[in-house]
Amino acid sequence: MLMQNPLNASESAFPVLECLHIIGFAISVGTIAIVDFRLLGLGMLRQKVTDLNNDLWLWTLAGLIIVVFTGLLLYSSDPDMYYLNVAFLFKMACLSAAIIFHYTIHRKVISSDASGEYGKVVACLSLTLWASVIFGGIFIGFVNAGL
Amino acid sequence: MILSLCQWAQDTSFFTAIRGSWNVYPVIMATHLLGIALFGGMILITDMRLLRWAMRNRSISDVVDQLRAPKRVGFLIVAACGVLMLGSKAEEYYYNIFFRIKLVLLLCVFLHGIIFRSSVYANAAALDRAPKIPGRAKLAAIVSLLLWTGIACAGRAIGYVEPPLERIHAGLLHGGLPMVQSVENQRSVR
Protein backbone atom coordinates (compact mmCIF):
# COMPACT_ATOMS: atom_id res chain seq x y z
CA MET A 1 0.00 0.00 0.00
CA LEU A 2 1.52 3.29 -1.11
CA MET A 3 1.04 6.15 1.33
CA GLN A 4 1.60 9.78 0.66
CA ASN A 5 4.17 11.36 2.95
CA PRO A 6 2.08 13.00 5.69
CA LEU A 7 4.42 15.99 5.65
CA ASN A 8 3.30 16.81 2.14
CA ALA A 9 -0.36 16.52 3.05
CA SER A 10 -0.15 19.47 5.42
CA GLU A 11 0.54 23.02 4.29
CA SER A 12 2.26 24.09 7.48
CA ALA A 13 4.39 21.02 8.21
CA PHE A 14 7.32 22.09 6.09
CA PRO A 15 7.58 25.66 7.44
CA VAL A 16 7.26 24.44 11.02
CA LEU A 17 10.00 21.87 10.45
CA GLU A 18 12.18 24.55 8.89
CA CYS A 19 11.73 26.79 11.92
CA LEU A 20 12.71 23.92 14.21
CA HIS A 21 15.68 23.24 11.92
CA ILE A 22 16.78 26.89 12.25
CA ILE A 23 16.35 26.85 16.03
CA GLY A 24 18.32 23.61 16.15
CA PHE A 25 21.27 24.98 14.26
CA ALA A 26 21.17 28.21 16.25
CA ILE A 27 21.56 26.10 19.38
CA SER A 28 24.23 23.74 18.05
CA VAL A 29 26.32 26.06 15.88
CA GLY A 30 25.85 28.86 18.40
CA THR A 31 27.30 26.87 21.28
CA ILE A 32 30.08 25.54 19.06
CA ALA A 33 30.81 29.14 18.10
CA ILE A 34 31.13 30.22 21.74
CA VAL A 35 33.81 27.57 22.30
CA ASP A 36 35.54 28.40 19.01
CA PHE A 37 35.59 32.12 19.77
CA ARG A 38 37.20 31.21 23.09
CA LEU A 39 39.82 29.14 21.27
CA LEU A 40 40.47 32.11 19.02
CA GLY A 41 40.79 34.36 22.04
CA LEU A 42 37.92 36.55 20.88
CA GLY A 43 35.60 36.17 23.85
CA MET A 44 34.60 34.48 27.09
CA LEU A 45 38.20 34.78 28.26
CA ARG A 46 37.42 34.40 31.95
CA GLN A 47 36.90 30.68 31.55
CA LYS A 48 39.18 27.93 30.35
CA VAL A 49 38.19 26.24 27.14
CA THR A 50 37.63 22.92 28.88
CA ASP A 51 35.26 24.53 31.37
CA LEU A 52 33.25 26.23 28.63
CA ASN A 53 33.04 22.99 26.74
CA ASN A 54 31.87 21.10 29.80
CA ASP A 55 29.08 23.62 30.22
CA LEU A 56 27.95 23.59 26.60
CA TRP A 57 28.52 20.15 25.06
CA LEU A 58 25.09 18.89 26.03
CA TRP A 59 23.40 21.86 24.35
CA THR A 60 25.47 21.28 21.23
CA LEU A 61 24.46 17.65 21.14
CA ALA A 62 20.80 18.46 21.69
CA GLY A 63 20.93 21.06 18.92
CA LEU A 64 22.57 18.61 16.54
CA ILE A 65 19.96 15.97 17.27
CA ILE A 66 17.18 18.48 16.52
CA VAL A 67 18.94 19.61 13.36
CA VAL A 68 19.54 16.10 12.02
CA PHE A 69 16.08 14.85 12.92
CA THR A 70 14.24 17.79 11.36
CA GLY A 71 16.65 17.62 8.45
CA LEU A 72 15.72 14.00 7.79
CA LEU A 73 12.04 14.87 7.92
CA LEU A 74 12.55 17.81 5.56
CA TYR A 75 14.50 15.56 3.20
CA SER A 76 11.74 13.00 3.23
CA SER A 77 9.29 15.51 1.81
CA ASP A 78 11.05 15.50 -1.59
CA PRO A 79 13.91 12.99 -1.59
CA ASP A 80 14.66 12.98 -5.31
CA MET A 81 14.94 16.73 -5.56
CA TYR A 82 17.38 16.96 -2.68
CA TYR A 83 19.41 13.97 -3.81
CA LEU A 84 19.99 15.66 -7.17
CA ASN A 85 20.65 19.13 -5.76
CA VAL A 86 24.34 19.99 -5.87
CA ALA A 87 24.03 22.46 -2.99
CA PHE A 88 22.40 19.82 -0.82
CA LEU A 89 25.16 17.33 -1.58
CA PHE A 90 27.76 19.96 -0.74
CA LYS A 91 25.92 20.65 2.50
CA MET A 92 25.86 17.00 3.48
CA ALA A 93 29.55 16.60 2.72
CA CYS A 94 30.38 19.62 4.88
CA LEU A 95 28.01 18.42 7.62
CA SER A 96 29.64 15.00 7.78
CA ALA A 97 33.08 16.56 7.84
CA ALA A 98 31.99 19.07 10.48
CA ILE A 99 30.48 16.45 12.79
CA ILE A 100 33.44 14.10 12.45
CA PHE A 101 35.90 16.94 12.93
CA HIS A 102 33.97 18.21 15.93
CA TYR A 103 34.06 14.92 17.80
CA THR A 104 37.67 14.02 16.98
CA ILE A 105 40.30 16.69 16.45
CA HIS A 106 38.22 19.54 17.87
CA ARG A 107 37.38 17.60 21.03
CA LYS A 108 41.01 16.60 21.49
CA VAL A 109 42.21 20.17 21.18
CA ILE A 110 39.68 21.32 23.76
CA SER A 111 40.48 18.63 26.28
CA SER A 112 44.19 19.30 25.99
CA ASP A 113 43.38 23.00 26.52
CA ALA A 114 45.49 24.09 23.57
CA SER A 115 45.54 27.83 23.45
CA GLY A 116 48.24 28.34 20.89
CA GLU A 117 48.29 28.54 17.14
CA TYR A 118 47.08 24.98 16.68
CA GLY A 119 43.95 25.72 18.70
CA LYS A 120 43.24 28.76 16.54
CA VAL A 121 43.64 26.80 13.33
CA VAL A 122 41.27 24.12 14.60
CA ALA A 123 38.73 26.77 15.66
CA CYS A 124 38.88 28.47 12.24
CA LEU A 125 38.45 25.17 10.47
CA SER A 126 35.50 24.29 12.68
CA LEU A 127 33.77 27.61 12.04
CA THR A 128 34.47 27.37 8.31
CA LEU A 129 32.96 23.89 8.10
CA TRP A 130 29.79 24.89 9.94
CA ALA A 131 29.50 28.09 7.91
CA SER A 132 29.77 25.99 4.74
CA VAL A 133 26.92 23.82 5.95
CA ILE A 134 24.72 26.89 6.39
CA PHE A 135 25.71 28.39 3.04
CA GLY A 136 25.02 25.09 1.34
CA GLY A 137 21.62 24.99 2.94
CA ILE A 138 20.63 28.42 1.65
CA PHE A 139 21.83 27.67 -1.87
CA ILE A 140 19.60 24.59 -2.08
CA GLY A 141 16.79 26.89 -3.09
CA PHE A 142 18.90 28.85 -5.52
CA VAL A 143 20.63 26.23 -7.67
CA ASN A 144 19.05 24.58 -10.65
CA ALA A 145 17.33 21.30 -10.07
CA GLY A 146 19.11 18.20 -11.21
CA LEU A 147 22.81 17.48 -11.30
CA MET B 1 4.80 57.49 1.10
CA ILE B 2 6.65 54.54 2.55
CA LEU B 3 5.69 52.63 -0.56
CA SER B 4 7.26 55.27 -2.81
CA LEU B 5 10.36 55.18 -0.65
CA CYS B 6 10.51 51.40 -1.07
CA GLN B 7 10.08 51.64 -4.81
CA TRP B 8 12.75 54.33 -5.07
CA ALA B 9 15.19 52.37 -2.92
CA GLN B 10 14.92 49.17 -4.88
CA ASP B 11 15.38 51.05 -8.14
CA THR B 12 18.74 52.47 -7.14
CA SER B 13 21.52 50.86 -9.13
CA PHE B 14 23.10 49.37 -6.00
CA PHE B 15 20.03 47.45 -4.97
CA THR B 16 19.04 46.60 -8.51
CA ALA B 17 22.44 44.98 -8.95
CA ILE B 18 21.94 42.90 -5.82
CA ARG B 19 18.53 41.78 -6.98
CA GLY B 20 19.73 40.98 -10.47
CA SER B 21 22.80 38.95 -9.54
CA TRP B 22 22.13 35.25 -9.08
CA ASN B 23 24.57 34.70 -6.27
CA VAL B 24 24.79 37.95 -4.30
CA TYR B 25 21.32 37.74 -2.78
CA PRO B 26 21.77 34.12 -1.56
CA VAL B 27 25.21 34.98 -0.16
CA ILE B 28 23.68 37.87 1.78
CA MET B 29 20.89 35.62 3.02
CA ALA B 30 23.37 32.92 3.98
CA THR B 31 25.45 35.46 5.91
CA HIS B 32 22.24 36.54 7.62
CA LEU B 33 21.60 32.92 8.63
CA LEU B 34 25.23 32.42 9.63
CA GLY B 35 24.96 35.44 11.89
CA ILE B 36 21.82 33.95 13.42
CA ALA B 37 23.65 30.67 13.97
CA LEU B 38 26.75 32.17 15.50
CA PHE B 39 25.08 34.78 17.66
CA GLY B 40 21.60 33.39 18.21
CA GLY B 41 23.21 30.74 20.35
CA MET B 42 24.70 33.48 22.52
CA ILE B 43 21.30 35.08 23.05
CA LEU B 44 19.96 31.64 23.92
CA ILE B 45 22.74 30.91 26.42
CA THR B 46 22.37 34.32 28.08
CA ASP B 47 18.66 33.81 28.61
CA MET B 48 19.11 30.19 29.61
CA ARG B 49 21.63 31.27 32.24
CA LEU B 50 19.10 33.70 33.66
CA LEU B 51 16.70 30.77 33.91
CA ARG B 52 19.46 28.57 35.42
CA TRP B 53 19.07 26.05 32.64
CA ALA B 54 22.56 26.46 31.16
CA MET B 55 26.08 27.23 32.32
CA ARG B 56 25.09 26.96 35.96
CA ASN B 57 28.73 26.72 37.04
CA ARG B 58 29.44 30.19 35.78
CA SER B 59 28.17 33.30 37.52
CA ILE B 60 25.48 35.31 35.76
CA SER B 61 27.83 38.25 35.39
CA ASP B 62 30.44 36.02 33.73
CA VAL B 63 27.95 34.89 31.13
CA VAL B 64 26.01 38.11 30.56
CA ASP B 65 28.92 40.52 30.61
CA GLN B 66 31.20 38.49 28.39
CA LEU B 67 28.60 37.74 25.74
CA ARG B 68 27.34 41.30 25.48
CA ALA B 69 29.93 42.57 22.97
CA PRO B 70 29.81 39.52 20.65
CA LYS B 71 26.01 39.68 20.63
CA ARG B 72 26.11 43.30 19.52
CA VAL B 73 28.59 42.55 16.76
CA GLY B 74 26.38 39.67 15.67
CA PHE B 75 23.30 41.83 15.65
CA LEU B 76 25.06 44.40 13.46
CA ILE B 77 26.04 41.72 10.94
CA VAL B 78 22.54 40.23 10.86
CA ALA B 79 20.86 43.63 10.64
CA ALA B 80 23.21 44.80 7.88
CA CYS B 81 22.37 41.73 5.81
CA GLY B 82 18.71 42.32 6.53
CA VAL B 83 18.90 45.90 5.31
CA LEU B 84 20.67 44.78 2.12
CA MET B 85 18.00 42.18 1.43
CA LEU B 86 15.24 44.65 2.26
CA GLY B 87 16.62 47.29 -0.07
CA SER B 88 16.90 44.94 -2.99
CA LYS B 89 13.25 43.88 -2.86
CA ALA B 90 11.76 46.69 -0.83
CA GLU B 91 8.36 46.75 -2.48
CA GLU B 92 7.80 43.03 -1.99
CA TYR B 93 8.73 43.33 1.64
CA TYR B 94 6.38 46.28 2.00
CA TYR B 95 3.42 44.09 1.10
CA ASN B 96 4.66 41.07 3.03
CA ILE B 97 2.65 40.56 6.23
CA PHE B 98 5.33 38.42 7.86
CA PHE B 99 7.95 41.10 7.29
CA ARG B 100 5.69 43.58 9.05
CA ILE B 101 5.21 41.13 11.92
CA LYS B 102 8.98 40.71 12.10
CA LEU B 103 9.48 44.47 12.33
CA VAL B 104 6.91 44.71 15.12
CA LEU B 105 8.67 41.91 17.01
CA LEU B 106 12.02 43.65 16.52
CA LEU B 107 10.50 46.78 18.00
CA CYS B 108 9.29 44.69 20.94
CA VAL B 109 12.79 43.31 21.40
CA PHE B 110 14.16 46.83 21.40
CA LEU B 111 11.61 47.87 24.03
CA HIS B 112 12.35 44.71 26.01
CA GLY B 113 16.01 45.74 26.09
CA ILE B 114 15.12 49.16 27.43
CA ILE B 115 12.65 47.86 30.00
CA PHE B 116 14.84 45.14 31.46
CA ARG B 117 18.25 46.75 31.05
CA SER B 118 18.71 48.33 34.44
CA SER B 119 17.11 45.58 36.47
CA VAL B 120 18.48 42.54 34.67
CA TYR B 121 21.00 42.77 31.86
CA ALA B 122 23.13 45.56 33.34
CA ASN B 123 22.56 44.26 36.85
CA ALA B 124 24.21 40.87 36.64
CA ALA B 125 26.37 41.30 39.75
CA ALA B 126 23.32 41.97 41.91
CA LEU B 127 21.56 38.95 40.41
CA ASP B 128 24.53 36.82 41.45
CA ARG B 129 24.37 38.07 45.02
CA ALA B 130 20.65 37.35 45.35
CA PRO B 131 19.84 34.01 47.02
CA LYS B 132 17.45 33.14 44.21
CA ILE B 133 17.26 34.58 40.72
CA PRO B 134 14.45 37.14 40.90
CA GLY B 135 11.26 36.55 38.97
CA ARG B 136 11.85 39.69 36.92
CA ALA B 137 15.05 38.27 35.47
CA LYS B 138 13.31 35.04 34.57
CA LEU B 139 10.47 36.95 32.98
CA ALA B 140 12.97 38.96 30.95
CA ALA B 141 14.62 35.75 29.78
CA ILE B 142 11.39 34.03 28.78
CA VAL B 143 10.03 37.07 26.94
CA SER B 144 13.35 37.47 25.17
CA LEU B 145 13.38 33.84 24.05
CA LEU B 146 9.80 34.03 22.81
CA LEU B 147 10.41 37.25 20.91
CA TRP B 148 13.61 36.06 19.22
CA THR B 149 12.04 32.71 18.31
CA GLY B 150 9.12 34.63 16.86
CA ILE B 151 11.47 36.83 14.89
CA ALA B 152 13.24 33.81 13.41
CA CYS B 153 9.97 32.11 12.51
CA ALA B 154 8.50 35.28 11.00
CA GLY B 155 11.69 35.71 9.04
CA ARG B 156 11.41 32.21 7.61
CA ALA B 157 7.75 32.77 6.83
CA ILE B 158 8.59 35.84 4.74
CA GLY B 159 9.77 33.53 2.00
CA TYR B 160 6.43 31.77 1.83
CA VAL B 161 4.40 34.84 0.93
CA GLU B 162 4.73 36.24 -2.57
CA PRO B 163 2.87 39.50 -2.99
CA PRO B 164 1.38 39.60 -6.51
CA LEU B 165 3.20 42.72 -7.59
CA GLU B 166 2.01 42.79 -11.21
CA ARG B 167 -1.62 42.72 -10.21
CA ILE B 168 -1.06 45.36 -7.57
CA HIS B 169 0.63 47.62 -10.10
CA ALA B 170 -2.13 47.09 -12.60
CA GLY B 171 -4.52 48.46 -10.04
CA LEU B 172 -6.39 45.19 -9.79
CA LEU B 173 -5.59 44.81 -6.12
CA HIS B 174 -5.07 47.23 -3.33
CA GLY B 175 -2.25 45.07 -1.94
CA GLY B 176 -4.66 43.38 0.45
CA LEU B 177 -3.81 46.09 2.90
CA PRO B 178 -5.44 49.46 3.50
CA MET B 179 -3.68 52.76 2.82
CA VAL B 180 -2.16 51.60 -0.50
CA GLN B 181 -2.84 54.20 -3.15
CA SER B 182 -2.50 51.99 -6.16
CA VAL B 183 -3.63 54.70 -8.59
CA GLU B 184 -0.67 56.99 -8.16
CA ASN B 185 1.71 54.05 -8.07
CA GLN B 186 0.78 52.46 -11.35
CA ARG B 187 3.95 51.57 -13.16
CA SER B 188 4.87 49.46 -16.10
CA VAL B 189 4.57 45.80 -15.32
CA ARG B 190 7.92 44.24 -14.50
Q: Measured between beta carbons, which residues in chain B are less than 8 angstroms from residue A24?
A: none
* SS3 state at A78: coil
A62: amino acid identity, one letter? A
Phi, psi for residue B171 in degrees, rounded to 5? 80, 10
Among chain A residues, the shortest Cα distance to B159 is held by A15
**pLDDT tens string A41-74:** 887 888 888 888 888 999 999 999 999 999 999 9
Q: Distance from B75 to chain A by nearest Cα, in Å? A: 14
Using an 8 Å Cβ cutoff, are B108 and B147 in contact?
yes
pLDDT higher than 90, residue A5: no
The average pLDDT across B73-77 equals 92
Q: Distance from A95 to chain B by nearest Cα, in Å? A: 14
Residue of B184, B14, B166, B173 lying closest to B91 (CA atoms): B166
Q: Measured between beta carbons, which residues in chain A are less than 8 angstroms from residue B68?
A: none
CA distances from B49 to A29, B14, B38, B109, B152 (A): 18, 42, 18, 18, 21
Among chain B residues, the shortest Cα distance to A18 is held by B156
Distance CA A44, CA A27 (A): 17
**Model confidence, pTM:** 0.86
HSE-CB at B134 with a 13 A cutoff on CA atoms is 15
Q: Measured between beta carbons, which residues in chain B are less than 8 angstroms from residue A26?
A: 36-37, 40-41, 44, 152
- Positive or negative, the CA dihedral B164, B167, B173, B175 is positive
Chain A residues with a Cβ under 8 Å from any Cβ in chain B: 15, 18-19, 22-23, 25-34, 37, 42-47, 51, 54-56, 59, 63, 127, 130-131, 134-135, 137-139, 141-142
Distance CA B153, CA B138 (A): 23
**Which H or E element spans position B37?**
helix B24-50
Q: Distance from A133 to chain B by nearest Cα, in Å? A: 10
The three state secondary structure string of B88-129 is HCHHHHHHCHHHHHHHHHHHHHHHHHHHHHHHHHCCHHHHHH
Q: Measured between beta carbons, which residues in chain B are less than 8 angstroms from residue A23?
A: 149, 152
Distance CA A14, CA A25 (A): 16
Count other C-beta atoms under 10 Å from residue B140's C-beta.
Answer: 22
The average pLDDT across A131-135 equals 94
Residue B131 is given by DSSP the state: S
Q: Could you tell me the residue ranges of all domains in chain B?
A: 2-169
Q: Measured between beta carbons, which residues in chain A are less than 8 angstroms from residue B101?
A: none
Interchain contact, A26 vs B40, CB within 8 Å: yes
**pLDDT tens string A8-54:** 888 888 889 999 999 999 999 999 999 999 888 887 888 888 888 88
**pLDDT tens string B113-137:** 999 888 888 888 888 888 888 888 8
pLDDT higher than 60, residue B184: no
| ipTM reported for the complex, 2 dp | 0.87
pLDDT higher than 50, residue B180: no
Distance CA A129, CA A102 (A): 10
Distance CA B159, CA B10 (A): 18
Q: Distance from B86 to chain A by nearest Cα, in Å? A: 17
HSE-CB at A127 with a 13 A cutoff on CA atoms is 20
The average pLDDT across B33-38 equals 90
Q: Could you tell me the residue ranges of all domains in chain A?
A: 12-139
